[in-house]
Amino acid sequence: MQRTSAMTSVQPDWENFYPRPISEKIPFFSKDGRLYDCLFAQQFNRELLNHLFETANKLKTVTHRKDGADHVSSLLSDKRAMLYFVQPSTRTFMSFLNACHIMGIKTSEIRDTTTSSEVKGETPEDTVRTFSSYVDMIIMRHPAPGFVEKTAWLMNRTGRPVPIVNGGSGKDQHPTQALLDVYTLYRSFAGEIDNKHIVMVGDLKRGRTVRSLSYLMKSYKGIKLSFVSPKEFRMESDILDFLRRHDIPFTETEDFRGVMKTADAIYMTRIQDEHDKSGESKAVDYSPFHFRQEHLKEIKKTCVIMHPLPRRHEIELSVDDDPRAVFWRQERNGMWARAALMAYIFGVDKKL
């Protein structure tokens, strides 16, 4: 496979490659000017986002009828994908699996390293290289930040690369979640995402979804962000620096009630206590960062309430019945957005 990237000839080692700015690394994960490995939210720009959203819309409509669904599931029926999800996942796994089925991609899965040769001492890198011998795409969720990227980097240096899609890497990135989140905004606001006030709430420090979603905001004009979190779990400075560099105004506050009134979208998240080192989450009162029934009368009539799920108590169950609660729709949008991404990566998006 011919790479268009200048970096291929340089062949830096991983220790040199990994710390580079994402903007420099993107060409290495592209092919013929198109996204090839989907690793970082920064790989999406407005044009690509719009294209993927229109593709997802088309997929939704076309597959409504059996002949349409049969056509779509023939487009990639020669492809096989491996789902390597070695971190807990329900919806992202199911979403990718069903996105593959929509496109006719055959799937295999590993969800637990104890059933793989890693227990015989094989390095995870060799294990994923083994997968690539059998399949045409690897979709990965991994607890270690950088591992998914390293897999793509290794693959691209072999004679038989396959695209790698990041289904969540540590507390770092979750690009396809950001894709479906923005697709949900796109559908909720009839394509008009510019000039919106988006409020992200919860554990912003360790939540990868809010990090990836923040990166995507650079594709839109006039966005205003409010970050609402306990002081222990404020958004990390790398994201705040990114927003400053791209002139995206943001505020940080603990006063949820104060900012919800002007919100166009409220993005709730749970506390990410699986990343605790010594039970630090228990010391935090998370209740001010819950969305309750009584808040419904405070927010705009057009405001949407989102959540990447799973939820604990941060959205009261009775809120689900309000038409502004779009998180179940958001979950379903994920399957279509991911199917659109696969159609794009394998170049059959024009055949819809």
Active site residues: 91-92, 120, 141, 174
Nearer Cβ to ligand NCD (55/177): 177
Q: Nearer to ligand NCD by C-beta: 218 or 338?
A: 338
The stretch among 5-13, 150-158, 247-255, 308-316 that binds ligand NCD (CB under 6 A) is 308-316
User: Interaction with ligand NCD in 52-81: which residues (CB under 6 A)?
Assistant: none
Q: Which of residues 108-167 bind ligand NCD (CB under 6 A)?
A: none
Q: Does 208 bind ligand NCD (CB under 6 A)?
A: yes
Measured CA to CA in angstroms, residue 115 lies from 80, 84, 107, 196, 276 at distances of 21, 12, 17, 46, 27
Is residue 168 a contact partner of residue 141, using CB atoms and an 8 Å limit?
A: yes
C-beta of 275: minimal distance to ligand NCD in Å?
A: 11
Round the CA-based radius of gyration of the chain to a whole number and report it: 20
Residue from 3, 150, 174, 196 binding ligand NCD (CB under 6 A): 174
Of the candidates 107, 105, 103, which has an alpha carbon nearest to the alpha carbon of residue 73?
103
From candidates 270, 306, 336, 342, binder to ligand NCD by CB under 6 A: 270
Binding-site member from 46, 71, 91, 129 for ligand NCD (CB under 6 A): 91
Of 55, 127, 209, 226, which lies in the binding site for ligand NCD, with binding defined by CB under 6 A?
A: 209
When the beta carbons of 223 and 309 are compared against ligand NCD, the nearer one is 309
Looking at beta carbons only, is 28 or 327 nearer to ligand NCD? 327
Q: Which stretch binds ligand NCD (CB under 6 A): 29-37, 239-247, 283-291, 305-313?
A: 305-313
User: Which of the stretches 17-25, 78-86, 277-285, 302-310 binds ligand NCD when contact is defined by CB under 6 A?
Assistant: 302-310
Interface residue with ligand NCD among 165, 201, 305, 309 (CB under 6 A) is 309
Site membership for ligand NCD, residue 177 (CB under 6 A):
yes
Q: Which of 40, 135, 138, 168 binds ligand NCD (CB under 6 A)?
A: 168
Q: Which of 43, 63, 92, 212 binds ligand NCD (CB under 6 A)?
A: 92
Contact indicator for 164, 190 with CB cutoff of 8 Å? no
Q: Which one of the spans 20-28, 241-249, 297-305, 306-314 is the region binding ligand NCD (CB under 6 A)?
A: 306-314
CB 342 to ligand NCD: min, Å = 17
The Cα–Cα gap between 182 and 140 comes to: 21
275 contacts ligand NCD (rule: CB under 6 A)? no
Considering beta carbons, is residue 246 or 312 the nearer one to ligand NCD?
A: 312
| Backbone region of residue 144 per phi and psi (left: phi > 0; alpha: psi in -120 to 50; beta: other values) | beta
**Number of residues in contact with ligand NCD under rule CB under 6 A:** 12
Quote the CA–CA distance of 108 and 135 in Å, as a whole number.
Answer: 9
Stretch that binds ligand NCD, among 125-133, 216-224, 296-304, 307-315 (CB under 6 A): 307-315
- Residues at the contact surface with ligand NCD, assessed by CB under 6 A: 91-92, 168, 174, 177, 208-209, 269-270, 308-310
